Amino acid sequence: MKKIILLLSVLVSFSIAAAIDVYKFDNEEQEALFKTLTAELRCPKCQNNNLADSNASIAKDMRQKTYNMVIEGKNEDQIVDYWVDRFGNFVIYKPPVTLATSILWVAPGLFVVLGFVIIVRNSRRKLRTRDEDEDEDELTGADKDRLAKILKDSEK
């Protein structure tokens, strides 16, 4: 059993080590920027992996290119723009506000407003029907006579 655990732990550590590339940075800010970028950017070949997690060959290339740009002193926006320019908005997890994506921001507010309107209208309608019920209590002379007659008849 211990041997199996040992074997497993060795195997697991190998596969983890395989995903780690070695990059040298001039300072901590560059390293932090590289880490943020590879976590934020999405691998175009994989459906839901960021650059840091993916072992696809395109992700490796993109990590390398991102690293080069970080070392050149480019800032976060410049590097993100560089990738969006080539691979489209797919590479960023955070979608930009455009006409097509505006529904993501508008819809929640719209639902709250719509729900509120429906609640208000429903309660108003209930009030109104109650009013109408009260109106109906006031019967006209002919109806009163009829009612009285019906009640009299039913008593028999």
Partner 1 sequence: MTENKTGKQLLTRLIPFVIFIGVSVFLYIGLFKDASVLESTFIGRPVPEFALNDLVDPSLAHDKSVLKGKPMLLNVWATWCPTCYAEHKYLNQLAAEGVYIAGMNYKDDRVKALNWLAELDNPYKISLFDPDGMLGLDLGVYGAPETFFIDSQGIIQYKHVGDINTRNWNGKLKAVYEQLK
Shortest distance, CB of residue 25 to partner 1, whole angstroms? Answer: 21
Helices (H), 1-156: 2-18, 28-40, 57-71, 76-87, 102-137, 141-155
Bridge partners (DSSP) of residue 92 are 41
Based on the shown chain and the rule CB under 8 A, indicate whether residue 23 belongs to the binding site for partner 1. Answer: no
The set of residues, in sequence order, having a beta carbon less than 8 Å from that of 55 and lying 6+ positions away, is 18, 19
Bridge partners (DSSP) of residue 42 are 50
The interface with partner 1 within residues 61-90 (CB under 8 A) comprises 61-62, 65, 84-88, 90
Residue 125 CB coordination number (10 Å): 10
Based on the shown chain and the rule CB under 8 A, indicate whether residue 144 belongs to the binding site for partner 1. Answer: no
Nearer to partner 1, 21 or 29 (CB): 21
Q: Is 88 left (phi over 0), alpha (psi -120 to 50) or beta?
A: left
Shortest distance, CB of residue 11 to partner 1, whole angstroms? Answer: 26
Based on the shown chain and the rule CB under 8 A, indicate whether residue 108 belongs to the binding site for partner 1. Answer: no
Based on the shown chain and the rule CB under 8 A, indicate whether residue 44 belongs to the binding site for partner 1. Answer: yes
Based on the shown chain and the rule CB under 8 A, indicate whether residue 15 belongs to the binding site for partner 1. Answer: no
Based on the shown chain and the rule CB under 8 A, indicate whether residue 38 belongs to the binding site for partner 1. Answer: no
Based on the shown chain and the rule CB under 8 A, indicate whether residue 154 belongs to the binding site for partner 1. Answer: no
The DSSP result for 59-79, as a single string, is HHHHHHHHHHHHHTT--HHHH
Phi, psi of 41 (to 5 degrees): -85, 145
Shortest distance, CB of residue 99 to partner 1, whole angstroms? Answer: 16
Shortest distance, CB of residue 127 to partner 1, whole angstroms? Answer: 17
- Interface with partner 1 by CB under 8 A: which residues? 44-45, 47, 57-58, 61-62, 65, 84-88, 90
